[in-house]
Amino acid sequence: MTEKQTTINPSALALVPFGFFLCLFIGTGIYFSTQNVDFAFYQLPATIAVLPAIVLAVLMSKEKLNTAIGQFIEGVSHRDITAMCLIYLLAGAFSAVAKATGGVDATVNLGLAVLPSSLILPGLFLISAFIATAMGTSMGTIAAVAPVALGIAQTTGIDSALMAGVVLSGAMFGDNLSIISDTTIAATRSQGCHMKDKFRENVKIAVPAALVVLVIFFFANEVTQAPVAGEIDWLAVLPYMTILVLAVSGMNVFVVLSLGIVFAGVVGIAQTPDYSLMAFSKDIYAGFGNMQEIFLLSLLIGGLAELMRQQGGLAFVTDKLSRLIMARADKAAEKGSPRASEAGIALLVSLTNMCTANNTVAIIVAGGVAKKLATQHDVAPKRSASLLDIFSCVIQGLLPYGAQALLLGSIFELSPLSVVSQSYYCFLLAIAAAFAIARSKGQHGTH
Cα 45 to its chain centre, rounded Å, is 20
Could you say which of 291, 325, 352 is where a domain stops?
A: 291
Q: 265-282: per-residue pLDDT in tens? A: 998 888 888 888 999 999
Question: 41-55, 79-93, 185-199, 332-346: lowest mean pLDDT where?
Answer: 332-346
Are 284 and 337 part of one and the same domain? no
Q: How many domains does the chain have?
A: 2
Are 194 and 319 part of one and the same domain? no
Would residue 43 count as lying in a domain? no
Would residue 323 count as lying in a domain? yes
Average pLDDT, the chain: 81
Are 283 and 366 part of one and the same domain? no
Are 270 and 126 part of one and the same domain? yes
Could you say which of 234, 256, 291 is where a domain stops?
A: 291
Angle, CA 425 vertex, CA 177 and CA 436 arms, to 5°: 70
pLDDT score, position 398? 92
Strand segments (E) across 376-447: none
Are 285 and 243 part of one and the same domain? yes
Are 211 and 327 part of one and the same domain? no
Are 331 and 235 part of one and the same domain? no
For the segment 297-320, the average pLDDT, to the nearest whole number, is 82
pLDDT score, position 396? 92
Residue 392 has pLDDT above 60, yes or no: yes
Would residue 12 count as lying in a domain? no
Question: 143-147, 388-392, 422-426: lowest mean pLDDT where?
Answer: 143-147
Are 282 and 363 part of one and the same domain? no
Residue 114 has pLDDT above 80, yes or no: no
* Higher per-residue confidence, 391 vs 256: 391
Residue pair 167/144 in contact by the 8 Å Cβ criterion = no
Residue 135 has pLDDT above 70, yes or no: no
Would residue 160 count as lying in a domain? yes
Nearest in space to 374 (alpha carbons), one of 208, 191, 234 = 191
Question: 41-50, 73-82, 398-407: lowest mean pLDDT where?
Answer: 41-50
The Cα 291–Cα 91 span in angstroms is: 9
Q: How confident is the model at residue 332 (pLDDT cuts 50, 70, 90)?
A: low
Would residue 36 count as lying in a domain? no
Residue pair 271/54 in contact by the 8 Å Cβ criterion = no
Would residue 52 count as lying in a domain? no
Nearest in space to 429 (alpha carbons), one of 204, 279, 189, 145 = 204
For the segment 160-177, the average pLDDT, to the nearest whole number, is 92
pLDDT score, position 247? 67
Could you say which of 291, 321, 340 is where a domain stops?
A: 291
Q: How confident is the model at residue 40 (pLDDT cuts 50, 70, 90)?
A: low
pLDDT score, position 5? 46
Q: Tell me which residue range forms the domain holding 425.
A: 313-439
Residue 104 has pLDDT above 80, yes or no: no
Would residue 23 count as lying in a domain? no
Q: How confident is the model at residue 66 (pLDDT cuts 50, 70, 90)?
A: very high
The Cα 309–Cα 18 span in angstroms is: 11
Residues in CB range of 357: below 8 A, 6 or more apart: 301, 305, 396, 399, 401, 402, 403
For the segment 164-193, the average pLDDT, to the nearest whole number, is 85
Residue 447 has pLDDT above 50, yes or no: no
- pTM equals 0.73
Q: How far is CA 81 from CA 15, 117, 357, 426, in A?
A: 20, 39, 10, 23
Would residue 89 count as lying in a domain? yes
pLDDT score, position 128? 86
Residue 442 has pLDDT above 60, yes or no: no
Are 268 and 397 part of one and the same domain? no
Q: 228-249: per-residue pLDDT in tens? A: 555 667 777 788 777 767 766 7
